Structure formats: C-alpha cells, structure tokens
C-alpha cells in the first residue's frame, strides 16, 4: 500500500498509469476498427487509406489530450509523446487493415 508521504514525493501512481494505458489501448483498438470500416465503405485504396488511418489516429490522440487528459497528459501518462501520441499506433494497424479489407470487399463486390 502506498502512503501519503510516498504520494507526495511521487505523485504518479503506477497502477493508475497502467490503467490509463490500458484504457487508451482499448480506445485505439476500437477506433482503428471503426476507421477501417469507414475506409472500406468509402472505397479508399492504398496510400489514401493509410493516410486516413494516420489522420484519424491523430484526431483521436488530440481528443484524448483535450477531453480526457484536459490538456495535462503528464498527470496521467509517464511520457506525453510515447504514452499519448505514439503508443499503439502500429498495434491498431492490423485491426484497421482487417476491417478495411473486409468492408471494402463487402461494399465493392
């Protein structure tokens, strides 16, 4: 158990950071699939589809930064760059490609 003195010295609680990271990972996985569905329905191919994913991921990161973290991500993540902006970008790419090709095939066939 962490006491008050320890919290005063180190205000970031590792359990909370781990939980926040898991929540952000879940948000990214869900939105990657939703972006894949949208790209498939829109009929995007090749580079425009991947650009759509990257722009969507940046929008999600900006929303998390502004809405959930209230502009202070250093209070909720270990590092602003790796914790909020760059984490799970490539992990969600497989979900994006999977749903992108599925819905592209369903709509275009």
By the 8 A CB rule, do 84 and 28 touch?
no
Sign of CA dihedral 39, 41, 45, 48: negative
Between 5 and 22, the higher pLDDT residue: 22
CA distances, 71 to each of 14, 46, 63, 77 (Å) = 20, 34, 10, 12
pLDDT in tens, 19-47: 888 888 888 899 999 999 999 999 999 99
CA 23/CA 1 separation, integer angstroms: 23
pLDDT number for residue 54: 92
């Amino acid at each position: 158990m962490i006491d008050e003195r320890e919290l005063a010295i180190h205000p970031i609680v590792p359990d909370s950071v781990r939980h926040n990271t898991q929540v952000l990972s879940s948000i990214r996985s869900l939105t990657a699939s939703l972006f894949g569905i949208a790209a498939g329905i829109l009929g995007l191919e090749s580079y425009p589809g991947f650009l759509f994913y990257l722009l969507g991921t940046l929008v999600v990161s900006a929303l998390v930064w502004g809405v959930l973290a209230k502009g202070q991500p250093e209070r909720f993540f270990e590092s602003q760059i790796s914790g909020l902006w760059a984490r799970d970008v490539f992990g969600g790419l497989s979900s994006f490609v999977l749903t992108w090709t599925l819905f592209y095939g369903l709509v275009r066939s």
